[in-house]
Structure 1
């Protein structure tokens, strides 16, 4: 990670986006000249996404944080199957190298939230953050009142007030440079990002959601043995500062020597948690970032983080959505079509190619849960991702409307859980899990 001041005013952020647009235009022109004169062979990615412009994008988005990184995260999980490879490279890089703010900006945020004497709340405070993400950075400290080790999320200044302007600037940039496929319905993705960013910038809302999720876990006898949620430390929290119990586990994908039994155990419970969130709790932590799942091998528990984008869903939506899941598990294509129209995935006027691709994609995604699936499904050997990827060009070309708003976050989380199971190589009794949590196979 690198330290760099966060542009905190709207004018300052507009200046950086304007500079990025101008730089990319000049970079594309230079690339065109090089190719016309034959002085350089043409790399993949076209004139706009040449290597120099990719570096410009990564550097600027890492410096800006906020909406730029959030939109990148949303696109990378939701649409990475059909984004151009250079765009996938950019999104991957900016997710892993956000800058952190210098001490002066950090201390200003802490002072405005916790008071000028904020350091007295902590007996120790680590000056260098352990993580920097789209909305803020995380420091470790020791709580003075109890001696407890805590993690402190500190929001970047200006991020909350610049959401709309940042997204408008990004929309103009992405549209003008034609970096994304037309079928993305970028306006809907940006509208969803606007909503979720506002949630994530409200640390009071996040603290409430985190406490609610903790209560859901602790009041469930089976889940309380598997999961833990860090306690919120109210005395050291505010609208832009969230202090919580420090979790000592490691991200599940960064543990090098997991046994197959541990991989199966982790995948099983993470996937089951997703189904519980949808079907029983109607409350979901929708951020699919794999680093939000920590495995503490000493306690044999999965530690859950980051509840800023947690949300409830309308009951009518959930009932119909669960109906689609059940129909897919049974292979009931007429019900899939009927409920897809009710939910807003389809208008009923789609081409036969679009209808077939939509239904087949749902049946494919439900493959681990279907009645004809093996009792133990090997996610490490699955080809679901490739098969769905093959259907995406048809759906992008033929679909008549964007998917319903609720599915942007829900599908991102489900896709993240599915891909995590594949990354772990988990072998899961998915069919039995589905029947137990959701039902619908009989």
Structure 2
């Protein structure tokens, strides 16, 4: 991680976006001249799919600017990176993969200003220890560790970057203009809807008071049943050391599930099973979902044998009418009932009924494929490590991006991001899951 001040005023952030646009324009002109004078460079660049705009120098400009700006720009990149981005140009995939977990952190003076504003000028008295170096830096804020003076508990202190909350709309507008002007993304991605969804979720994530309430609500749900509390654990919010831009909570000592060395197959199976089960419970039983699929939000503590859950800023409820129809789509997909899938897809807003045959087949095919682990014909134990679902769904995406007549329902942007994240995590872990029985237990078999 690198330290750099967060551009906190709208004028300052507009200047940086303007500088990025100007730099990319000059970079594209330079690349054009370079290719005109060197046939070898031209063939090399075209083979990577870079084009004039996304040449290596401009890719570096984008990554550096997104990491420095944080906030909306970096968050949008991270959101896109958790979609299946295989239909995007390879340079865009490269940029998204690089910014997914990359952000600069605030210098001490800027950090201390936020802490003083939220906790008072004597904020250090709340902690007997405070780590000067953050343990993580993300799109909205950075995280430090400390020891609570009043109880001696080890805590994590999440500190929001200044100006991020007030710059959401202007940042996304600037980013939309840049992406539209450079035509970097396919038309079928419906950039305006993606940005509208990002605007909503970013506002939630910047509201640490809302996040604290969501985290407490999840804690109460988990504590309500031994079936949940014996498997999952959440950090406790520390109200006296929290504020609108600072959230302090007990420190969770687990390790991100994809970073644990020497996982046994039993552990892999348990982790995949419980994380997928959590997704179904959130949708069906609780109607309240933590929608950020970042794998670093799932920790495993081998000492307690519990999965520790983090980051509840993007938590949300879904309308019951939407959930009822969505579950019925899954039930229809389990038995291959394509007419019902089509009818409910129109009702939900995925289709308008005027789609081409190729678009309809791609839509139905992707749903049937995604439902395979839960299908009536599935093996009792579904081996995610050997699954081909991901690759087969990828094959449908270009058609859907090219021929989709309307954007998908707003609710599915976050819901599908979380579900696809869980599927990909199970595949990454090589988990073997009794997915069919799990579906029947939580959702019902008919």
Compute the TM-score of the two structures, normalised by the length of structure 2.
0.98
CA drift at 1:69? 1.1
2:2 paired with 1:11: no
2:87 is aligned with 1:61:
no
Question: Per-residue CA shift, 1:355-385, capped at 9, x if unaligned?
Answer: 1110110000001000101111110111111
Q: Which residue of 1 aligns with 2:157?
A: 152
Partner of 2:437: 432
Query: Cα RMSD over matched residues?
Result: 0.8
Bigger CA drift: 321-330 or 58-67? 321-330
Determine helix, strand or coil for the equivalent of 1:258. coil
1:327 aligns with 2:344: no
39-48 vs 160-169, which deviates more?
39-48
What is the aligned partner in structure 1 of residue 422 from structure 2? 417
Matched, 1:26 2:26: yes
Superposition pairs for residues 370-409 of structure 1, below 5 Å?
A: 370-409=375-414
1:297 to 286, 299, 302: 302
Matches within 5 A, 1:35-54: 35-38=35-38, 41-42=41-42, 43=45, 44=48, 45-54=50-59
Cα displacement (A) at 1:423: 0.4
Q: Which residue of 1 aligns with 2:361?
A: 356
CA distance in 2, matches of 1:334, 1:242: 48
Q: 2:192 aligned to 187, 192, 196, which one?
A: 187
- Describe the superposition over 1:184-218 as per-residue Cα deviations: whole angstroms up to 9, x where unpaired: 00000000000000000000000000000111111
Q: Deviations over 1:61-97 (max 9, x none)?
A: 0000000111011111124131111111111111222
Instruction: Give the Å deviation of 1:330.
Output: 1.7
Q: Which runs of 5+ in 1 are unaligned?
A: none
Alpha-carbon distance in structure 1 between the residues aligned to 2:40 and 2:138 = 36
Counterpart-to-counterpart distance in 2, 1:19 and 1:353:
43
Within-5 A mapping of 1:27-176:
27-38=27-38, 41-42=41-42, 43=45, 44=48, 45-176=50-181
Alpha carbons 1:139, 1:153 under 8 Å: kept: yes
Structure 1 residue 399 displacement after superposition: 1.0
User: How far 1:352 sits from its partner (Å)?
Assistant: 1.2
> Aligned residue for 1:282?
287
Give CA deviations for 1:333-372 in whole Å, capped at 9, x if unaligned.
Answer: 1111111011000001111111111011000000100010
- Assess if the C-alpha contact under 8 Å between 2:384 and 2:433 holds in 1: yes
1:256 to 249, 261, 265: 261
Higher mean displacement: 79-88 or 56-65: 79-88
Give the Cα separation in 2 of the matches to 1:169 and 1:151.
Answer: 33
Corresponding residue SS for 2:143: strand
Cα distance in structure 2, aligned partners of 1:362 and 1:191: 25
Write the distance in 2 (CA, Å) between the matches of 1:96 and 1:208. 26
Show CA shifts across 1:256-280 (max 9, x none). 2100110000000000000000001
Contact 1:34 1:40 in 2 (8 A): no
- The answer as to whether partners of 2:84 and 2:394 remain within 8 angstroms in 1 is no
Moved over 4 A (4+): none
Q: Are 2:209 and 1:204 equivalent residues in the alignment? A: yes
Paired residues of 2:235 and 2:310 also in contact (CA < 8 A): yes
For the 8 Å contact 1:78–1:408, the answer to whether it is kept is no
Whole-angstrom distance in 1 between the partners of 2:179 and 2:40:
26
Deviation readout 1:231-265 (Å, 9 max, x if unpaired): 00000000000000000000000012100110000
Q: CA deviation at 1:40?
A: 5.0
